Structure 1
Amino acid sequence: MIAWMDAWLRSLEDLLTTGGVIMLPLMAICLLIWLLVAERLFFFRRLRRRMKRQTARADTRSEHRPNEGAMALLAVEFKNRRGSNHAMDRMILHEAALALSGHLTDRLALIGVLVAIAPLLGLLGTVTGMMTTFDVLAIFGTGNARAMAGGISEALITTQTGLLVAIPGLAMKVLLDRKAHGLHQEITAAGYYLGRQLDLGNDEHLSVQGD
């Protein structure tokens, strides 16, 4: 195991050395993308658990309704802010739904920007690698194959790394967007349903225990 790790670290060091200075921001972007992805996955998982917990507390399983998890969570948020005026309560319920939905897309735009930057940095590495190759040709002609290979390797490695960072990052961005969109629809539908119950004076679905 130690020998395998040592060999892997040596390979990574060779890759970073061969790829040139562009490899450092590429590695930093890769790390940041996956940290943000992990944070969003943990957030969605924790939100689903909160929905299940509030659903159990609201005791709605005997009469199953669509989006009952989002409904129970939204009812808790509304109860914490609720006043005594009906018109104000309607606005508070709408704001609670917007607040819950707003947190769903946090950091997704940043992930998208980083995913877009990665292949551009790879292209920049391609340009710098080819410039190194042309400099070698201008000085030594075609007689120094080793120096030419270094420039070509830099160009190819940075391009490959940029794509390897961007493609999985893009796939995870799409997955997170779908999760956020699904939860947003659930919260929106729950908000409409609770709003109608509030207009009808039926507070049964709003009487849930908080966290």
Structure 2
Amino acid sequence: MFIDIFESIRDFTETGGSILLVIGALIFVMWILILERILYVTNNHKLMMKETIAQWHARPERNSWNAMQIRQAMISRVSLKLRFSLPIIQALVALCPLLGLMGTVTGMIMVFDVMAMSGGGNARSMAAGVSQATIPTMAGMVGALSGVFASTWLTRTAKTERMHLEDALQLQRSE
């Protein structure tokens, strides 16, 4: 079973060209970062929120300018940890279609080479170049789309959690 899967992946990679390996590695790294962020949001972030709210509530004085600056620093610390690798994820999402486009260009160069050598009469040789041109584009787009959805969710979650923390610290302040 695993051998069949491995052979299918190898055949797909050979059909799409060497740029497909780069796109695959990029998507793998992107999803490792996305999964790390999802695990952080679902596990560690809640604990950090509770600790930050407890620290703010433990302060004897919460109304001065200094207290507001400390509050802002606490919110910023939590927000920075929450958004830790989001810019990298967003850059990888943007890079996926660009690498797919690079695969398209290299595949089309292969088609033009075949046309120059055979005069355009060898459709079988041209088909290999066309598949090498279209498969990386598809892979780059699929990777980018999956990353866009996850990145959007993570960005929205970070924004929502920051607002929740601001509200919680504000409510603590008015006591």
TM over 0.5: yes
Partner of 1:57: none
1:41 maps to which of 31, 38, 42:
38
Partner of 2:146: 168
| Count of residue correspondences | 174
Q: CA RMSD, aligned part only?
A: 2.3
Q: What's the CA shift for 1:163?
A: 1.1
- The one-letter code sitting in structure 2 at the alignment partner of 1:161 is A
* Residues 1:16 and 2:13 are matched in the alignment: yes
Structure 1 pair 133–22 and aligned structure 2 pair: CA distance change class (3 A): same
Partner of 1:139: 117
* Residues 1:113 and 2:91 are matched in the alignment: yes
Q: What's the CA shift for 1:190?
A: 1.6
CA–CA separation in structure 2 for the residues paired with 1:79 and 1:21: 57
Q: What's the CA shift for 1:109?
A: 1.3
- The one-letter code sitting in structure 2 at the alignment partner of 1:9 is F
Matches within 5 A, 1:24-173: 24-47=21-44, 49-50=46-47, 70=49, 72-78=50-56, 88-173=66-151
- The one-letter code sitting in structure 1 at the alignment partner of 2:162 is H
Structure 1 pair 102–49 and aligned structure 2 pair: CA distance change class (3 A): closer
TM-score w.r.t. length of structure 2? 0.88
TM-score w.r.t. length of structure 1? 0.74
- The one-letter code sitting in structure 1 at the alignment partner of 2:79 is S
CA–CA separation in structure 1 for the residues paired with 2:126 and 2:55: 64
List gaps (5 residues or longer) in structure 1. Answer: 52-69, 198-211
Percent of matched pairs sharing the same residue: 32
Q: Which moved more, 1:25-34 or 1:89-98?
A: 89-98
CA–CA separation in structure 1 for the residues paired with 2:45 and 2:91: 27
Deviations 1:114-152 (A, max 9, x none): 111101111111111011101110111123223211111
* Residues 1:192 and 2:162 are matched in the alignment: no
* Residues 1:180 and 2:158 are matched in the alignment: yes
- Highest Rg: 1 or 2? 1
- The one-letter code sitting in structure 1 at the alignment partner of 2:10 is E
Checking the alignment, whether the CA contact within 8 Å between 1:126 and 1:154 is kept in structure 2 is: yes
Pick the structure with more helix per residue.
Answer: 2
SS class of match (1:39) = helix
Q: What's the CA shift for 1:174?
A: 1.2
Q: What's the CA shift for 1:102?
A: 1.8
Q: What's the CA shift for 1:196?
A: 3.1
